Chain A
Amino acid sequence: MLDLVNALTLLANFVLIPGITYGSQLGLGALGVTIVYGILRFSNFAHGDTMAFGTMVTILLTLWIQSLGITFYPLPTALLMVPFGVVITTILVLGIDKAVYAHFRQVNAPPVMFVIASVGVMFVLQGLIRLIIGPDDQSFADGARFILRAREFKEYFGLSEGLSIKVTQLMSLVVTFLLVISLFWFLHRTRTGKSLRAYSDNRDLAQLSGINPDRVVLYTWILATALATIAGVLYGLDKSFKPSVYFQLLLPIFAAAIVGGLGNPLGAFVGGFVVAFSEITITYAYKRFFAYLLPEELEPTTLLQLLGTEYKFAVSFLILVIVLLIRPSGIFAGKSA
């Protein structure tokens, strides 16, 4: 019985909790991508760097209020500054929309033009971030770090395996969950949300029924930027802030959005978990897990690893290819990618 508890604790500590954390971080990022895709109809490659920009603004504000002696114990101080980060980043993104995307909407450019323009915006944002805060790693997490510490858990329950849960890990899950629910409520229950969906379904018809397209664009960018900033800050709190890593996040985020079904918020959420868990479960070495469960003479001598960790990206992209082959619109029917 004790062996079974040990085995499950082991799995929870190294697979379940990290998977849930990473999954909700990806899901939150994918939500922003999916909303822009669903309503403005293009893949926004600048999303990763919008996340980085929002996080950077939040970090700078956090450093400032920390220097004034204000903290938010036991939660990280950065949480207090997220709304301000969202506002400043939204102003920037709306400025970019006016300067770049508005023109392409005017001339009714094909989606691929928007995509390429967003790549340009991405590079400009990357340069801007490096100019302002530099390329270095920043860690800005303060407050309590752990809800549960591995060593204390081990001693308290008399187990040989520990379980650790960080504040940031729980926060990632809770915030993502709340945001998905409120986004769903917003899109389905409010007038503005319905107008967004109407615009997404049929642009011309929506305009004929009196929906103001400029308003729709405005709300979409506000939503997407708020999601990006929150996702970026949560990720930065849990790991650390490094501009180049936010660019790297773009790939798994798009994978999550496409697997779940581009344009579908629930799909983005689920897609994040699919990508995260596929990376972790397939490359985990199950040696110790089975060592607890099996009798001594059957104890495994190899690592029992399905695939080396260097192939973890191959796993999530294999899933992506399979989903696109079998269900091109994603697990939850979105717009076909």
Chain B
Amino acid sequence: MKKVSMFAMAALLSFCVQSKAEEVKIGILLSFTGPIEELVGPMAEGAEFAVAEVSDSGLFLGGSTVTPVRGDATCVDAGAATAAAERLVTADKVSAIMGSDCSGTTGAVLQNVALPNGIVMISPASTSPGFTTVEDDGLFFRTAPSDARQGQLMAEIITERGFGSVAVTFINNDYGKGLADSFAAAFEGMGGEITINAPHEVGKADYSAEVAALAAAGGDLMVVAGYIGEGGKSIVRGSIDAGSFDTFVFPDGMYGDGLLDDFGNELDGSFGQAPGTDSPGLATFAELVSSAGINGEGPFIGESYDAAALILLAMQAAGSSESSMLKEKVMDVANAPGEKIYPGELAKALEILANGGEIDYVGASSVELIGPGESAGNYREFEVQNGAWETVAFR
């Protein structure tokens, strides 16, 4: 009995504390299962790192704490992603959502959950060009650039290197199709020839048919707009083994250590591009999170940190955790004018905002939001040399 009453008192006490400085919840809606599950773990940790940094500072909205709540977006199942987001909003009562990752599920969650409930979403990784023009009531932002930009850049890199005809295979989803289409338009505009533009499905058992069709079409090199574990690697493996292509172009979805581990020197001379920057922010971030065992230079991890940080800083600027208020402030905190904010300086940013000052959030991925609230995009051009990714230039 004594124990029960003490427990009740403790509960009551914590309730009293909460009612003064509220407990803000942020949804972390990422694809913990499904095709990109191996990329997502560190992304979520990156976002939660920012949340902890803000929460632990004690400066957030008059001493409020922030709790991250995870939801599984599955990457491919729009229904499951919508249900997970619905749960975050209605049951967990999150104020805003960091996510999702894959463009298909992000679109579904935006239409079915974020818009009807008026919840702000900031995606760290959805790069489909479709989001540039989507009707979002000012609720949707992304710290990832649109693939329209990457397609254009990839066409420029290939042309500069003197290749005239390419075979393209893309993963059959919003990401792959958007990237392949924007690349094909840009490359043909520069006088290049696309011998075949063939889709491949996510994570199937066998890709011999795709390898055969690509080989039959031929070309100087092959562009693989896919994911490493979801057919991309199988198609590269099959093409090398069959002797049909030697040089490949890898966009961001194929950029990862998992690809090179299995190929050794066989991919030397292949090249590509992925979001990346040589700004001091990334190095700071990598150092900051390495203590937590996270490799900060992995794909979309800095972007995840930035997405979560932007949500919280916009709340601070708005003086409220309400999505309807914070959505007006996202662009303000992300862009100039104001004091530049790098990773690890969130406490400083909170203080400036609390005192009515202005900040220009730079973060890990050099955040600069353009147009309807998407990253302008900084890319790293890389090449495979002696079985390792080597950065050639920043663009």
Contacts and interface: CB of A to CB of B under 8 A. Distances in A.
A136 interface: yes
Interface in A259-283: 276, 279-280, 283
Given A18-B212, A288-B216, A309 B242 contact: no
B217 A287 contact: yes
Contacts of A285: 196, 212-213, 216-217
19 contacts: A14-B216, A14-B242, A18-B206, A21-B208, A22-B205, A22-B206, A25-B205, A134-B38, A135-B37, A239-B206, A279-B206, A280-B208, A280-B212, A283-B209, A285-B216, A303-B213, A305-B213, A308-B199, A309-B199
**A149, A248, A289, A309 — which one has the most chain B CB atoms within 10 A of its CB?**
A309
The A interface, classified by DSSP as helix, strand, loop or mixed, is helix
Contacts of B261: 139
B90 to A, nearest CB: 25
Interface stretch (B227-235, B280-288, B307-315, B334-342): B227-235
Contacts of B325: none
Contacts of A164: 241-243
Contacts of A252: 205-206
A134 B216 CA distance: 37
A307 B307 CA distance: 42
A186 B196 CA distance: 49
B234 to A, nearest CB: 6
A88 to B, nearest CB: 24
Interface string B213-230: 101111000000000110
B35 interface: yes
B290 interface: no
Interface of B: 33-35, 37-38, 172, 196, 198-201, 203-206, 208-213, 215-218, 228-229, 233-234, 237-238, 241-244, 258, 261-262
Given A136-B38, A137-B38, A239-B234, A150 B242 contact: yes
A81 B282 CA distance: 44
B243 A151 contact: yes
Contacts of B198: 308-310
Given A249-B205, A285-B216, 5 more contacts: A14-B215, A22-B208, A166-B241, A248-B205, A287-B217
B287 to A, nearest CB: 26
A235 B209 CA distance: 17
A309 B216 contact: no
A219 interface: no
A308 to B, nearest CB: 7
A284 B216 contact: yes
Given A240-B262, A303-B217, A309-B213, A19 B203 contact: no
Query: Closest 8 CB pairs between A and B?
Result: A150-B243, A18-B208, A285-B216, A14-B212, A162-B243, A135-B37, A249-B205, A22-B206
